[in-house]
């Protein structure tokens, strides 16, 4: 329901996504049956012309006649909407008025015009030629609304997969994309690092950068430059750069001149492929820092101070390359009093992935120090198989609420691939959709219809079922309350963990039965779904695969806990799963990393041993 200009309630169900900040609805409806012209702003870019053309195509299909674009007011024919740019509106903001003969879309910039056209297309797709008389005033809570895809934990998507996802995210008003990179860029002098990873090439990044820009999306370069360097340091040629070179597994660069020299040369080859002025250097989770080469300095100054000193040197490199540095804020938060010593033009990325993450105190720490920051929640898809719906929604809402309260300038939805990246892509759609809505306007989108929105924007499913399948699949873990912990689901624990690591003392047989029945329900919901889009043949098999993986996890858990079942039965089930996993993988992703991921899955049987043994 909405209010009209006189404050009278009008009962109407608008299915706009994201929901606008302000809507005024009037009676009666107006007819657009004869409308055929969309008037472009004079001198607009090719990007806007193409995006408006796509919206016009969708509108034409809904109205059953072709729409036409023009840069001048036509002398004949009916105008559907006159698009104008106005400095009076905020960047990315727009106002849409449909009232009698007045059909006006004003926008603060071309991105706002694109978003206004998306809203108009959604209205016409919902109501057809007879749309409500209304006025929409809209603008985002966060200027930067991004998605970060993990392309370093085994799974590197194909170019077609990247472009399809970019299209869908741009249609939900996401305006930044990051590709989390450790070793999956084809550096010309470092083939040893990436030779079996199917990395992105220079040409592909240039192509994606242009593809994003055409859709009002900024492709922000991302290369982890301090911690998470294990894909380099595991090779003898780079071992000398490690903080702890004698340690069997090492992931942290030594904070010295040799490491800086390597980063300098890598940045020279990597960064020019991106048009963005930003650069995410990562620098999170520097686990070994202060335990090896920098031990004496850390004992004298403190580990966080050593971290800050090297971070500042990386910042100087970024400045030299003409980029503004972003970095993950977890390590500096160990000593919040040091935040004030950060360079003033740095941009902190405040991440946390649980529903109760302390975004309130952490956002306040950056705000009080005068450091610009983004909030960075996650999809909760990784380490889950099924997703974690309840945690994802709580985490995303928490980040949006506190980010807005403390003045965050951006909202970055992270989608990781820890442990072999075994989750299928649709499991992440809940987090993408909710994050897009909450970051646009939390107040009007907290109760948005996610099921319908996911079905429409990701699956083009007229039944509306597939969105609900994703939401309900992510609630499977709630059937196993005896095995809850952070950053992973109960299903993931039952599937991958060693028997001696699992604490099954609070998992009763009824919890396995309840989970199995829940998966039956989810599987039955897939029967009548009708996905559209270019990936329509992939979606249902992917979700059935997630259900099958979850069932195997339950069977493995029962076997470990009670000995029920047999190794032979688990082996047969696992063989089918591995083949299905590889089929699903190659449908959207490159081959590099698949062997590693499949090996982790195969080893689940070796790690399964009944507790009583």
Q: Taking residues 62-67, report their average pLDDT.
A: 97
Does 10 score more than 70 pLDDT? Answer: no
Instruction: Give the separation between CA 435 and CA 316, rounded to whole angstroms.
Output: 33
What's the pLDDT score for residue 57? 98
Instruction: Give the separation between CA 319 and CA 329, rounded to whole angstroms.
Output: 19
pLDDT band for 3, please (50, 70, 90 cuts): low
Listed by start position, the domains of the chain span 2-138, 144-448, 467-606
For residue 585, which of 228, 153, 38 has the smallest C-alpha distance?
153
Domain 144-448 has CATH 3.40.50.300: no
Question: Do residues 268 and 276 lie in contact, with contact meaning Cβ atoms separated by under 8 Å?
Answer: no
Question: Do residues 371 and 327 lie in contact, with contact meaning Cβ atoms separated by under 8 Å?
Answer: no
What's the pLDDT score for residue 269? 98
What's the pLDDT score for residue 8? 53
Percent of the chain with pLDDT over 90: 95
Dihedral class, residue 20 (left if φ above 0, else alpha if ψ from -120 to 50, else beta): beta
Does 562 score more than 80 pLDDT? Answer: yes
Does 9 score more than 70 pLDDT? Answer: no
Angle at 539 between CA 589 and CA 119, to 5 degrees: 100
For residue 162, which of 104, 111, 116, 205 has the smallest C-alpha distance?
205
Residue-wise pLDDT for 215-227, tens only, equals 999 999 999 999 9
Which of 329-346 are b and which e, b meaning 16 or more Cβ less than 10 Å from the residue's Cβ? bbbbbeebebbeebeeeb
pLDDT band for 608, please (50, 70, 90 cuts): confident
Angle at 31 between CA 25 and CA 37, to 5 degrees: 105
Residue-wise pLDDT for 419-478, tens only, equals 999 999 999 999 999 999 999 999 999 999 999 999 999 999 999 999 999 999 999 999
Residue-wise pLDDT for 345-370, tens only, equals 999 999 999 999 999 999 999 999 99
Question: Do residues 359 and 350 lie in contact, with contact meaning Cβ atoms separated by under 8 Å?
Answer: yes
Tell me what the pLDDT averaged over the chain comes to: 96
Residue-wise pLDDT for 84-140, tens only, equals 999 999 999 999 999 998 999 999 999 999 999 999 999 999 999 999 999 999 999
Phi, psi of 277 (to 5 degrees): -80, -5
Reported in sequence order, the residue ranges of 281-427 that DSSP labels E, i.e. its strands, are 324-328, 347-351, 373-376, 410-415
What's the pLDDT score for residue 2? 54
Residue-wise pLDDT for 108-121, tens only, equals 999 999 999 999 99
In the chain the first and final C-alpha atoms are separated, in Å, by 62
What's the pLDDT score for residue 6? 57
Instruction: Give the separation between CA 140 and CA 442, rounded to whole angstroms.
Output: 9
pLDDT band for 7, please (50, 70, 90 cuts): low
Question: Do residues 144 and 100 lie in contact, with contact meaning Cβ atoms separated by under 8 Å?
Answer: no
Does 606 score more than 90 pLDDT? Answer: no
Residues 6+ apart with CB under 8 A from 35: 63, 67, 78, 79, 80, 103
| Dihedral over alpha carbons 457, 462, 463, 464 (to 10 degrees) | 20
What's the pLDDT score for residue 610? 79
CA distances from 564 to 499, 555, 558, 574, 582 (A): 14, 9, 6, 16, 28
Question: Do residues 314 and 268 lie in contact, with contact meaning Cβ atoms separated by under 8 Å?
Answer: no
Reported in sequence order, the residue ranges of 469-563 that DSSP labels E, i.e. its strands, are none
What's the pLDDT score for residue 11? 65
What's the pLDDT score for residue 545? 98
Tokens for 307, please give them. Answer: 């971290």
Other CB atoms within 10 Å distance of the CB of residue 173? 24
- The radius of gyration computed from the CA coordinates of the chain, to the nearest angstrom, equals 25
Side-by-side strand order, sheet with 102-107: 22-31, 130-138, 94-99, 102-107, 78-85, 35-39, 68-70
Domain 2-138 has CATH 3.30.379.10: yes
pLDDT band for 609, please (50, 70, 90 cuts): confident
Pairing type for strands 78-85 and 35-39 reads parallel
């Amino acid at each position: 329901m909405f209010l009209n200009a006189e404050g009278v309630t009008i009962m109407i169900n608008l299915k706009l996504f994201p929901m606008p900040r302000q809507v005024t609805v009037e009676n009666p409806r107006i007819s657009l049956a004869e409308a055929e012209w969309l008037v472009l702003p004079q001198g607009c870019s090719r990007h806007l012309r193409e995006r408006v053309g796509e919206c016009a195509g969708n509108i034409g299909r809904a109205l059953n006649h072709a729409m036409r674009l023009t840069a001048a007011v036509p002398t004949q024919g009916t105008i559907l909407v006159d698009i104008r740019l106005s400095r009076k509106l905020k960047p990315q903001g727009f106002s849409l008025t449909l009232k009698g003969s007045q059909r006006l879309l004003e926008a603060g910039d071309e991105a706002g015009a694109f978003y206004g056209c998306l809203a108009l297309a959604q209205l016409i797709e919902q109501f057809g030629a007879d749309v409500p008389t209304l006025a929409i005033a809209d603008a985002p809570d966060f200027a930067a609304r991004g998605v970060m895809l993990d392309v370093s934990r085994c799974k590197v998507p194909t170019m077609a997969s990247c472009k399809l996802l970019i299209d869908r995210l741009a249609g939900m008003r996401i305006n930044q994309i990051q590709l989390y990179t450790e070793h999956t860029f084809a550096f010309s002098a470092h083939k040893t690092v990436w030779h079996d990873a199917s990395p992105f090439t220079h040409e592909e990044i240039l192509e994606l950068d242009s593809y994003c820009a055409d859709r009002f999306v900024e492709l922000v370069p991302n290369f982890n430059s301090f911690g998470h360097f294990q894909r380099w340091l595991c090779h003898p040629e780079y071992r000398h750069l490690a903080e702890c070179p004698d340690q069997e597994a090492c992931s942290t660069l030594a904070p010295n001149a040799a490491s800086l020299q390597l980063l300098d040369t890598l940045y020279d080859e990597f960064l020019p492929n991106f048009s963005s002025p930003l650069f995410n250097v990562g620098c999170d989770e520097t686990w070994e820092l202060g335990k090896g080469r920098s031990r004496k300095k850390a004992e004298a100054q403190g580990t966080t101070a050593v971290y800050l000193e090297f971070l500042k040197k990386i910042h100087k490199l970024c400045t030299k390359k003409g980029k503004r540095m972003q970095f993950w804020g977890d390590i500096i938060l160990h000593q919040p009093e040091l935040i004030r010593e950060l360079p003033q033009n740095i941009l902190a990325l405040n991440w946390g992935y649980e529903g109760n993450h302390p975004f309130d105190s952490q956002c306040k720490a950056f705000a009080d120090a005068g450091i610009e920051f983004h909030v960075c929640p996650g999809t909760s898809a990784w380490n889950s198989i099924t997703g974690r719906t309840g945690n994802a929604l709580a985490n995303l809402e928490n980040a949006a609420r506190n980010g807005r309260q403390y003045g965050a300038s951006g909202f970055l939805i992270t989608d990781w691939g820890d442990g072999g990246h075994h989750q299928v892509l649709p499991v992440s759609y809940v987090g993408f959709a909710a994050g897009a809505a909450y970051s646009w306007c939390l107040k009007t989108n907290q109760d948005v219809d996610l099921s319908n929105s996911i079905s429409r924007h990701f699956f083009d499913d007229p039944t509306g079922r597939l969105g609900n399948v994703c939401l309900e699949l992510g609630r499977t873990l709630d059937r196993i309350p005896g095995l809850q912990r952070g950053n992973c689901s109960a299903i993931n624990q039952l599937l991958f963990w060693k028997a001696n690591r699992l604490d099954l003392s609070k998992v009763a047989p009824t919890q396995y039965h309840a989970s199995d029945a829940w998966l039956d329900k989810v599987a039955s919901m897939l029967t009548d779904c009708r996905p559209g889009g270019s990936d329509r043949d992939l979606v249902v098999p992917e979700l059935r695969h997630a259900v099958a993986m979850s069932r195997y996890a339950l069977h493995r858990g029962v076997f470990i806990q009670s000995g029920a079942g047999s190794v032979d039965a688990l082996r047969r089930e696992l063989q089918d799963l591995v083949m299905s996993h590889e089929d699903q993988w190659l449908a959207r992703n490159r081959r590099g990393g698949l062997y590693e991921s499949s090996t982790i899955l195969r080893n689940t049987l070796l790690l399964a041993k009944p507790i009583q043994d």
